[in-house]
Every structure is written in C-alpha cells, then in structure tokens.
Structure 1
Amino acid sequence: MNSNITDTNDFFKDKVLGHPAGLFVLFFTEMWERFSFYGMRALLVLFFTASLFDEGWGWPREHASALFGSYVGLVYLSTMLGGYFADKIIGFRWAVVVGALLMTLGHGAMAVETPFFIYMGLGLLVFGNGFFKPNMTSIISEMYKNHQEKKDGAYTIFYMGVNAGAFFGILLCGYLGEKIGWSYGFGLAGIFMLFGLIQFWLAQNIFGDIGLKPKKEEQTKASTSEEDNDKRVPFSKGQLVLITICSALGILWILNDPAAKISEGAFNIFDFQMLGLEGNNFVILTALVLFLGLLIYRLTKYSQLTKEKLIAVTFFAFLTIFFWAIFEQSPNTLTVFAKDYTDRVLEGTSAYIFKVINTLIAIVPLGIITWVLWLLFKQTFAKYKWSNIILATSFVIVWGVTIWMISNEFKASSYNVTYSNVNGKTEEVKIISSEAYKENDVIKIKDIQSLSIYDQKEASNGNNKIENGYLIDGKGNQVGECLAAKVVGFSKEPKPGAFGTTVNNVDVVITNSLGESVSKKVKISSEEKGELNVGDEILVKIAHSIKYDLNQTSQTTATISSVNSAVEIPASWFSILNSLFIIAFAPLFSKWWESKYNPSANMKYGIGMFLLAIGMACVAFGANGIEPGAKTASVSIIWLILVYLFHTMGELCISPVGLSYVSKLVPARMIAFMFGVWYLAVAIGMKGAGKFGENIDKIADTEGISYFFWMLTIVSVVVGAISILFEPIIKKLMHGVR
C-alpha cells in the first residue's frame, strides 16, 4: 500500500457506514481498552474494602479512597508524558502499542492479587494509560485532516466505542469479580486488552504514514509554520526549574498520601511539621502556590487579547476540578453505597423484570456492535485477515461470557434456610444462589462471624437494647449477638497489602448460650487498644454473614424452607448506567448545542453542576433514614438510578465542552502547555474525588451518610452558581468565541 498520503482521500476508499475502515479499527481497539480500564476500576474500591472472608483486603474505606484518588489522578497526569513521547520520539502508533502492552501486563499482574503484584499492576496501568489515551484521538485527527466536515461524525462513532467498552467492562468484569472471584474480574480485563493490542498491531498498515515516528524536519516545519504574530513568552531556565520542582513535589505527594495512610505512618517521606501544617499538606500547598504564581506571572507577559483568553480557560479548568471531584464518586463512595446501604435483592415479579431488562441492555448493544464488526470484516478481511480473526475471537468470548451471565441470573433464586449457628442457636436467613434446589433440601453454607467490641457509643444510643443475648436496633431488628467476654491478651497479625503493617487484635474468651467457653480474636483500633487491659470484662458483638458454600467445604448445614425467583444486583452494576445514559442522551444534547438555544460556556457549566447537585440530592434524600454509625441499610435502588441519570446529563454538559474551549481560545503554539494545565486540573479533581471519599466514614459515623451526600450537593450548587454569576466577565474575556 502506498502510505505516503497527502489528502487522506485514500482512507475513504474502503468505507464502513460512510467512514474509513481504519476508524473502526480504532473503534474496536479503544473499545477493548475502555473495557479493561473501566472493568478493573469498577472493582478496585470493592476489592480493597471487601472483608478477608470475601477474599478482599479488608481495608477501611479511607485507605481505599486514598489509593483510588492517587491512581486515577496519576492516570491523567501520565497523559502529558505519553503525549510528549508520541509527539517527539516514537510517534502515535508506537505510543498506542506501548500503552496497550503496559496495560495488558498491568491487568495480568492485578489478577495475582498479592500486594506486590497489585501495586505493580496499578503502576503499569498508570503509564499504559498515559501512552494510550491521548494518542488514539491524534490518529483520528490526522486521518480526517482534509475532511473536517466528517470529523464530528467520526468522533461521535469513536465516542460510542468508548462507552460500549466501559459498559461491557463494568457489566462483565464487575459480575465475575463480585460473583466468582476478584482475580477473574481483573483477569478478564487483561484478556481483552491483549486482544485489542494484537488486533491493532496486525491492522496498523491501514493507517498509512499516520502515527509513525516523527521526523526532525517535520517537527521543525510544524514549529515554524504558525501564522499568528502574537507576542512570544519563552520559558526561562528558572521557570523550567520551577516547573520541575512543582512536578516533583506533586508526584511525590500523590504517591506519599495513600502510602502514609495505608501504612498508618510507617511509610511517610513527609513526616514533619511546617508552619503549623503536616508535612504532606505543606508540600502540596507549596507546589500549588508555586505553580499558580508561575501561571499568573506568565499571564501578565502576554498581549491583552491572549491573556484574557487564557484567563477564561483557567477559570473553566478551576470549575472542572470540582466537577470531577464529585462526579468520580461513582466507582468510589457511590459503589460503596450500592454495596452496603442499598437493597440489591429483588424477588418475585420485580426480579423477573430486572432479569429481562438486564438481558436486553446486554444483548441489544452487543448485537449492534457485532453487526458493525461484520461490516468491517467485509471491507478488510482480505488485507487484514489475522487482525479480523483475533477480533472475531474476542467477540466469541464476550458473547460466551454474556450468555453465561444472563443464564446464571435467570436461574438465580432466593432460599430461606434454617440452621444452627456456632453458638447453638437456630437462625433463619436468606441466601441467593443459581443452583436448582427445592423445599426441604439440605445444603451446606458458610457461617462467617464478624466480631467487634460493643462500645460506649452504641450503649448510650437509646434506640439500641440487648435482649436474650441479641442486640436489637431502634426498628426492632436483630443486628447481631452481644455476649459477655473476658480480655485474656493481645496479639497482632499481618494486614494484607498494607506495606507490611499489622492489625491489632484483642484475645477474648466468650461464654456462649450453651455455657461453653470459646476463644476468639477481635480486631481493634489503636484507640480501643489503649482503653483495654487484661482481665477486663467487655461485651462482644457478633454479626453473622451467611453465604452459600460453593466449594462444599463448610460443615454447617441448612434446610431450605421456601424458594422464590430472585436476583442480587452486583454493586458495580449501577456504574453501567452512565454509559447507557450517555448513548441514549448524547444525540439529544448534540442537537441542543447545534440549535439557536445553545447556551454559553458558563451556562453549560452551571447547568452541568446543577444536574450534578440534583443527582447527589437524590441519594442524600434516599439515605435520610440511615442513622449515624450504621454500617448497612436497605435503601431502594431507584435513588442510585436517578443519581446516574442526572450525573450523566451533567457530564454531557461539561465533559465534551472543556477541551473544545481550550482548542478554540488558546494560540496554536501554546496549546500543548494549556492542555497540560487542563489535564492537571482533571488530575486534581480525580484526587479530590478520593479526598472526598476518605471522609465518608468519619461523617457517616457522626452525622450520618446522608449528610455526606448533602455536602457534595451544596458544593455542586455553589460551583454552578459561581459559573453563571461570572458569565458577563468570562464572556468579555472570550472575545466572541462560543
């Protein structure tokens, strides 16, 4: 193939749906990358916070949120590094290959689930995303360089690939991770990333010269071909040193922040006090002040027109921080809310309706994408046979997993079972299983005990009381046994994945209802340990978590007393609603932006933040009845569905708009620097999402979890109001750009 293409018309000889076949190679490569990225991300916080009995790491939510925030923040920061290497050294195409390979290795490492491999996997994913993410769209831009009228349609098709990948990644990886095992979810993400890499590699000649290693003379030509005569403000050596210092401090902080929390201070490179601030806070504030000082100084050096446009971009970047900090609660606190505070078990007719809906939203999009795959085959199979075979194999696997998941869900039933617990008491519980049992069958279950100290806070709550060895809450529900125990000693055990730190235990002897003495270990905090001494008499609360014993290893037997059609919705399932709603509403919002009613940039941001506020208000209102300190609840799923509906509409107002205004307002020679500023704002927002999430337990314990979501609602309203109030000023600074 003659790849020396100047007008790009050759790309349009083999068309699929009116666009070059190469666009759909990128479509499927991006689809599998997003499948792996979002599939893994949906499981991350759930895996870290899952109990040891559920094969998770048993982390506090604060630690999981800290690591989550740093991970997603670094993903966006790494795009600047990947973009630089692609532009200057290896080209777009090799950057995509390197990124895909690093991400494949990263997902494979995470499937091992040991601390070393989990951290190594996250590191590989950060750098892999940095190389991959910014360069796929660069290839599309070059492909349509002389066909600007078709570029909007191309990006729309590509964006559908992004959302299709996110949808199926969360749906399938989330299901496998939660229902079968975490390593299966992480591993499936890696498998499809590998398929995307191989498919792209085998079909890369379809892009001609696009994305190959840049030639020095082309870079020189690009740098001297600008037509604007605006004032140049080159970076001085001192400014470059300042940028290096800011970058180093920021990266060290974003790495040290979760490490210090997870290790409980054992690993903290900023373990000092300065000006009344903890070292960690002092370092990041210093970096931000230095960077803002440099940014303000440089703004004063440009011409009045350029300076005002750059101030407008900076204003929108500031708003973007708050948008992402609140929107990215989806895989963090909203997923935790789905897991612990939402009634995800549906029975009878409602269960059947959900099973039908879940089937349709899985099969219909997959069928449409398979049809697009067939159209691509017809155009490219002769030239790129092996790439198409790899792509077909990946679809056979995804169809197989999807059909297996749907079949499993349709077989799921709820079983009320009775059994004798380890203390000899008869219990009646409900389990969900896809196995076919009938009434009076005897099955094996796991009776998992979770022990905690019944503290003064619970004892002073007038709604709680102890009757016949059971703890009764204010609604009359039994929330666990509460038995007398005697402290006989203290011990420690390794804490999984926490930089070699340990968990404190108090060793107690409990006298059960049969008069037997049973030795137990109760996990305690450092604060609780300081209040206890050997010989103390305490109350120990015992909560039971009953699971169907898939491996038939438990000696606990239970008798089935009744059967009903049921489904337990995975906590990660709700995150697929974002992609589903984007696909449904994106065309409507696109029509809105093209109409005479197209709002200004400030109004779009304001509307987006208000929609974000409405979403948070929905979940806050739904959680109103949850008492402070409660660790579980049964809120209706409707509130989470409404959250994702309003948040998606908010995203459609803000997310596609931001980068568009950077390209419109910033002079061509400065666009790389301002994109860097923009992605820095997004990274700060992502880390902010983790910071918000770190405080959910502290606020939930004192004020109630509803209070936490009301706080995010208020922040969203305030930011939206600021955007609208500043409209006259920003409109003037934009000088007619819409």
Structure 2
Amino acid sequence: MKTDTSTQPNFFDSKVLGHPSGLFVLFFTEMWERFSFYGMRVLLIQFLTMSVIGLNPGWEMSMVDAGAIFATYAMLLYITPIFGGILADKYIGYRWAVVIGSLIMTLGHASMTLETEFFMYLGLVLLVVGTGFFKPNMTSILSEMYKSFPEKKDGAYTIFYMGVNAGAFFGMMLCGYIGERIGWHYGFGLAGIFMLLGTLQFWFAKPIFGNIGDVPNKSIELSESDIKNTHTTIHEEKEAVKLNPFTTLDYILIVITSIIGFLYAFDDAFYIVGKIKLFPETILGYDGKTLIIIAGLLIFLYLIISRIVRYTKIVRDRMIAVIIFAFFTIFFWMSFEQGATSLIVFARDNTQRVLIGNKAMLFNVFNLLLTVVPLLIISWVLFLLAKQTIKKALISNIVLAITFIGVWAAAIWMLGRDWSSNAYEVTFDAIKTVALDKAGEPKLDKHNEKIYEYTPISPANQPKEGDDIVKQTAVVSQLDILEKGKKVEIYEELGNFTILSDKQKDKLTTDFKTHNKATTIVQAEITEIKDNQVEITASWFSILNSFFIIALASIVSKLWDSRFNPPASIKYGLGLIIMAIGFGILAYGSHGISEGTRVSMMWLVFAYFFHTLGELFSSPVGLSYVSKLVPGRMIALMFGMWYLAIAIGNNLAAKLGGQIEKITEEYSLSVFFLIFTVVPIVAGILVIALNPLLKKLMHGVK
C-alpha cells in the first residue's frame, strides 16, 4: 500500500530517545499484544493437561491431544497474516486492520475465561483470526513511517523488537503467575484486559500518525522507486512481470494446495473435538491422509518449480536460495517452539521448583530485580512519550498510564505474595511399598538397594492388614501464620503439598464426590516452622527467553557489525547447532532420573540461554533475505512460502512436543530431548556445508 505523504506530519518534530514518538506508540501497542499472546500461550497447555480434580483443575486432556490442538492453533497463526496483509493493503488500511485484529483478539481472550469447551475453542479461533489482521500490519505502519528515513530503520526495528520481548516477558510472568496460583480464567482474563487497553491507546493516538496506515488511496500509483527488491533492476522487474504472469493453472494449483494445507491443519483438531475425519481413511488400500498430503506436497513443489524456471538465471538462483533457507527454517522452529509445549510440561512436572531458606531468599531478590528494573525503564520511556504527546493524544496517554498502573499493581502483588509466604514442616502417615518397574520387578538405585514408594493415607488410600505404616514429612508453603502442633489437612498436586483452607477442602470434596471418587485429602500435623520457602511457577521459566534476548541482543548485534560477521548460511547453521546444545543440556540433566524425580532448575535455565543465543544467530536470516532475493512479482508468494515453513515448523513442534509423555514412558525423558539435539545439529551442519552453493546462488546479495 502506498500512502500519500503530502499531509503526513514531520515525525522527527516529536522525538523520544532520538526516534519519532509514533514509534513508541507502536512499541506499547505491540507490547500489550505480545503480553496477551504469550500470557495466554504459557497457560494453555497447562490448562488442557491439568487434572479435572484439583485446586486449579483443567481438562485432563492427554499431552498428545493437547499438542495436536496447539499444533493447529500454532500453524494457523502464521497462515492468517498472509490474508490479513492482503486485506489491509488493498481495502481497509493498516490502521483499521490493527484495530479490528486487536478487538477480535480481545473477544478471544474474553471467551477463553469461561473455560467451557465451546468458548475455549471459539477463543482460539478468534485469536487466530485477530492475529491475521494484527501481525503483518504493525510492521507495515512502522515501515511506512520510516520510508523517508531508511538510515534510521534498523534502530527503529531494534526498539520495536524490545517492545515485543517486554510484552512477552511480563505477559508470561504475570498471566502465568495469576493463572497458576489463582485460577486459569483469571490468567486468560488478564491477557484480554491488556489487549483491550492496548487497542484503545493505539486508536486514540491517531493524531500522532497523520494519515499513515489509513485506507489506501488507489489513485496513487507505484513509482519506480517503490520497487521493493533493491538487488533487481527496474528493467529486470518489468521483464520478470512480463515474462512470468500467473497463469490459470497457477491459480488452480494454489487453490488446491491451500485446501489440502487447511485440511491438514484442522484434521487432528476436528477429530479430537468432534471425532470428525477430514481425510478419507483409505484410498486404493493405502492411508488416505498420507496419500493426499504427499499429493499436495508434490503439487506445491511443481507450482514453485514451474514458476521459478520461467525466470532468468540470476533471479531463479536467488529464489532457489530462499527455498533452501525456508526448508531449514522448519527444523529450527520445530525445535525452538518446544518452549510452548514440552518445556512447559517439563518445568511443571520434572523440574525442582521449590526453594527453601537462603535459596528462596536469593530467588526472591533476583525476581524482584528482574521485575522492577525493566518496569522502571519502560515507565521512564512512558514518561518521555507523555511529555511529547500529551497535548496531541491526551486520552491515549491516560489509557497507557492505566495499563502501567495495572502492571505495577499486579507485579507488586505477585512479589509481595512470594516474599510473605511461610514454610512449615508437616508430618503424616504413609504406606511404605517397594517400587516396581514395568516388568513387576523391584526398582534398584545405583547402590543396588531397593527403591521405596510412600503413599499418604487418605480416604482413597487406606492401609491393608500387614502394610508398613511410616511417618513422612513434607515442607509446605502457606500465606497464613500457623502454630506448631496444629492439625491440618493437606493435598498433593504436581508433587507438592498444600495446606487446605476450609473453602479449598469443600471444593475438593465436592469434586471428588461428583466424579464418584474417594478423596486424597491427607490428615497431617505441623511439626516445625521452617525458613522461607517459595515455589516457582512453571510459567516463570518461559520468561527467560525474553530476558536473554534483551540481555544478549546488543552483544550479538555488535558481532554482526564487526569483521567477524559470517555469511547467512553460517549464521543459520550456527543458530541451529547452538540451540541444539540447549536440548543436549536437558538430555544430559534428565539422564537416568526415575519417575517422580525432579531435576535442578539450572538445567532449564542453561537450556533457555542456548535456545535464545541460537535464535539471535538465526534471526538475521529470514524475511530480510526474502525481500532482498525475490523479484517483486513473486515476493508475495515467497513471503507466503516462508511463513508456511514457519507454520509447518510450529505445527511439528506442537505435535512432537505432545509426545513427551509417550516417549518418556516408552524410552526416557533423555531420549525425548536427544531428538531435538540430534536433528538440529545435523540440519545445522548441512546448511553450513551448503554455504559455497548458497553464496553462488545469491549472486552477490549479502
């Protein structure tokens, strides 16, 4: 979309940190959208797989089914922006697209707070549709703002990217904490509230942007200077358009492959939700789904190849380079996006998240700094923005102030809750039995001694004659101040005990009765008052990716600006290998652990460090190379193909992540993580080995 610049304001008349104030309006809009997106995402898998009976119950869906649902959602998130971008570019403009997308996503979050099957799935659909409108058009507004200032664009995108990560950071931290500690619907609801407020602050900031992002003016024609591909001459562009028009067959093949792609995306979800199969079971005696997907891939390859061969050699070679990068992109996202599924489950079920005494104090201090320092910095930016724009966009600034008051309030409440928790040692009776393996043989430790299990006595687990009854102890966190010797009732969830309030006990008793089950509430006694204890939420570990990006981005960026800047294929290959090291660390850390054993949280911290470093190495290679290497007539299709590669990677990530329990049960947790160690390393070595070929195919593009 080309915008008439005759009535645009001079953006650099109003500056914040050397950039137009409009950039920071976009910064905060994107921040709140990412807050809501990642805040919801970090809760979804946990909610779907949590037991239907518990202090914070979920749907008790199998990890395989939950992964398949998330796979459909993740794949569509990268497909709908293709259509949203087209609609904005041709009909409604970037600004309206952002607002429409934001409002649809707000409705999606609101729908998910109801937690019923219909509204949960409706919410996911609305989020997918809303993302389609929002995602491509925020960056389009940013690009349009800096069209006359190309030398400032890199710095602007860096600042904008910080907004993305700040939103993800606080969304996962606060929505995750509230969702896990208070209730899933509160976490989903908080995401929706900030999505709505972010929409309002963007809408009321319209005077700052002039007519940037408005409905396109079709009377304005593209000039020669608007040709996107700076590495292709205007003559080459015009010749490419003339020699390679889309044929009727091309359009037919695009429709066919699109239909097959959507059927593939929805198939598992439709079967899980409604037992509906979108593919025939068999075709000519073979699996129908497999045959149709293979046919779709072959048709898609024919479409791409048939179009590429019609171009001149240089243009054709550059497009082949893009296809090679897109292929390896699948392997990167297939592994990296485990952070949305298997790594959350690993943090919840297999990581030692309870810290006591000095370790708890150290974590609380670290978490305080980790929360407050970024909030202070961003609040300072908010103050600078308000000084520049308060007269032009008063209501926008008021809304933005309200959002930050809300975030500060939520953060202070979260920190205060962890700092004020008390720890008690409780004693209860348990049945001691020998742990057995799958073959029914006693499990042995490394000293060949038998391993014992201790089952707390409760109405559901009553001792039989001859059972060995022993005393067991556990350390429990509690906000209330209790006395030594007090009789309490405790409940075990996710390997940790909670001292029940009367309200919690009544709810659990009702839930067990509804499901015709005896309760597992345990009678206990407080035997000692301990030092402070804190239980880290499973969601907290997800913020490490955003934290490490903010901490490491400038360092890696300086490396790319130095003489050590490697070629694109080397960067991408190193990114894959470095990310794989993170999974290798998890494979090593989880090696040989028995069922119910939890590993140190530091394994997960180091894993996220290497995953983020791998992302920073790979991020320079991607959409920028598509825009550099592809001629204008083909750029929409190739952008679509790149997003399709990311969508396939996200889809595979969720489906494979859903196999964590199955692979762990059949083999081991270590084997599961080895998959994501070996595959990216092999892919990384291959793409590095292809560097001479890719360099040749790119014909001087760097």
- TM norm. shorter chain > 0.5: yes
**What residue in structure 1 maps to residue 554 of structure 2?**
587
**Partner of residue 442, structure 2:** 462
**Residue matched to 1:724:** 688
Deviation, 1:207, is 1.1
The TM-score, its normalising length taken from structure 2, stands at 0.87
Deviations 1:665-696 (A, max 9, x none): 11233222211111011000000101211322
Tell me what 1:480 maps to: 455
Which residue does 1:559 correspond to in 2?
A: 525
1:8–1:145 Cα contact (<8 Å) kept = no
What residue is the counterpart of 2:392 in the other structure? 383
In the alignment, is the contact (CA less than 8 A) between 2:435 and 2:453 conserved in 1? no
Contact 1:48–1:59 (Cα < 8 Å) also in 2: yes
Question: Pick from 497, 500, 503: which aligns with 1:549?
Answer: 500
Name 1:528's counterpart in structure 2: none
- Verify the 8 A CA contact 1:479 1:543 in the aligned structure 2: no
User: Does the CA contact (< 8 Å) of 1:308 and 1:734 recur in 2?
Assistant: yes
Distance 1:733 1:411, change over 3 A: same
CA distance in 1, matches of 2:424, 2:280: 53
Match of 1:524 in 2: none
Change (3 A) 1:305 1:261: same
Q: Distance in 2 between matches of 1:565 and 1:119?
A: 41
Q: Per-residue displacement from partner, 1:158-185 (whole Å, max 9, x unpaired)?
A: 1110000000000000000111100011
3-state SS, counterpart of residue 425 of structure 2: strand
Please list, as runs of the form range in 1=range in 2, the aligned pairs for 1:21-420 lying within 5 A after superposition. Answer: 21-52=21-52, 53=54, 54-218=56-220, 227=235, 228-232=237-241, 233-261=244-272, 266-274=275-283, 277-419=286-428
In the superposition, relative to structure 1, how do residues 255 and 129 fare at CA in structure 2: closer, same or farther (>3 Å)? same
2:653 is matched with: 689
Is the alpha carbon distance of 1:276 and 1:734 closer, same or farther for their aligned partners in structure 2, counting shifts above 3 Å? farther
User: Which consecutive unaligned segments of at least 5 residues does structure 2 have?
Assistant: 228-233, 468-492, 507-521
- How far 1:547 sits from its partner (Å)? 2.7
Q: 1:7·1:146 contact (CA, 8 Å) conserved in 2?
A: no
* AA partner of residue 561 (structure 1): T
- Displacement of 1:216 in angstroms is 2.0
Cα deviation 1:524-557 (Å, max 9, x = unaligned): xxxxxxxxxxxxxxxxxx9987433245352765
Q: Would you say the 8 A contact 1:42–1:331 is kept in 2?
A: yes
Deviation at 1:461, TM superposition (A): 3.7
Closer, same or farther: CA 456–561 of 1 in aligned 2, 3 Å? closer
Q: Which amino acid aligns with 1:85?
A: L
The one-letter amino acid paired with 2:357 is G
Alpha carbons 1:8, 1:146 under 8 Å: kept: no
Kept in 1, the 8 Å contact 2:436–2:442? The answer is no
Using the size of structure 1 for normalisation, the TM-score is 0.83
- Residue 596 of structure 1 aligns to a residue whose secondary structure is coil
Cα distance, 1:376–1:342 mapped onto 2, change above 3 Å: same
Whether the 8 Å contact between 1:74 and 1:126 is mirrored in structure 2 is yes
| Distance in 1 of aligned mates of 2:586 and 2:535 | 20
Runs of 4+ residues deviating >4 angstroms: 6-9, 219-227, 425-428, 454-457, 509-512, 542-545
Counterpart of 1:253, as a letter, is Y
Does the Cα contact within 8 Å between 2:552 and 2:613 map onto a contact in 1? yes
SS of alignment partner, residue 657 of structure 1: coil
CA RMSD after TM alignment = 2.7
**1:434 equivalent in structure 2:** none
Contact 1:65 1:690 in 2 (8 A): yes
- 1:317 CA displacement: 0.4
Please, which runs of 5 or more residues in structure 1 have no aligned partner?
420-424, 429-453, 466-472, 484-508, 517-541
Query: Relative to structure 1, is the Cα distance of residues 607 and 277 closer, same or farther in structure 2, using a 3 angstrom cutoff?
Result: farther
Contact 1:8 1:144 in 2 (8 A): no
Counterpart of 1:678?
A: 642
Partner of 1:618: 585
| SS of match in other structure, 1:415 | strand
Write the letter of the residue equivalent to 1:247: S
Q: 1:314 to 1:550 in 2, by over 3 A?
A: farther
- What's the CA shift for 1:242? 1.2
Q: Tell me the secondary structure at the aligned position of residue 355 of structure 2.
A: strand
Q: How many aligned positions are there? A: 645
Query: Could you tell me which residue of structure 2 aligns to residue 495 of structure 1?
Result: none
Once the 2 structures are TM-superposed, how far is the Cα of residue 560 of structure 1 from its aligned partner? 1.4
- Find the counterpart in structure 2 of residue 604 from structure 1: 571
Distance 2:494 2:695 in 1: 59
Contact 2:99 2:203 in 1 (8 A): yes
Shift of residue 252 of structure 1?
Answer: 1.7
Q: Is the 8 A contact 2:8 2:210 kept in 1?
A: no
Shift in Å at residue 231 of structure 1? 2.7
The superposition leaves residues 104-145 of structure 1 with CA deviations (integer Å, 9 ceiling, x where unpaired) of 000000011100010000000001111101111111111110
In structure 1, distance between residues paired with 2:568 and 2:192: 39
- Determine what percentage of the aligned residue pairs are the same residue: 50
* Cα deviation code 1:485-519 (max 9, x no counterpart): xxxxxxxxxxxxxxxxxxxxxxxx99753799xxx
- CA separation of 1:201/1:459 partners in 2, compared to 1, >3 Å: closer, same or farther? same
1:626, distance to aligned residue in structure 2 (A): 2.2
Kindly indicate whether the alpha-carbon contact (under 8 Å) linking 1:418 and 1:426 is maintained by their aligned counterparts in 2.
no
In 1, Cα distance between the equivalents of 2:170 and 2:127?
Answer: 19
Q: Deviations over 1:287-323 (max 9, x none)?
A: 2221112111111111111100000000000010110
Query: Contact (CA 8 Å) 2:47, 2:184: kept in 1 or not?
Result: yes
Contact 1:100–1:197, Cα closer than 8 Å, also in 2? yes
Structure having the larger proportion of residues in strand: 1
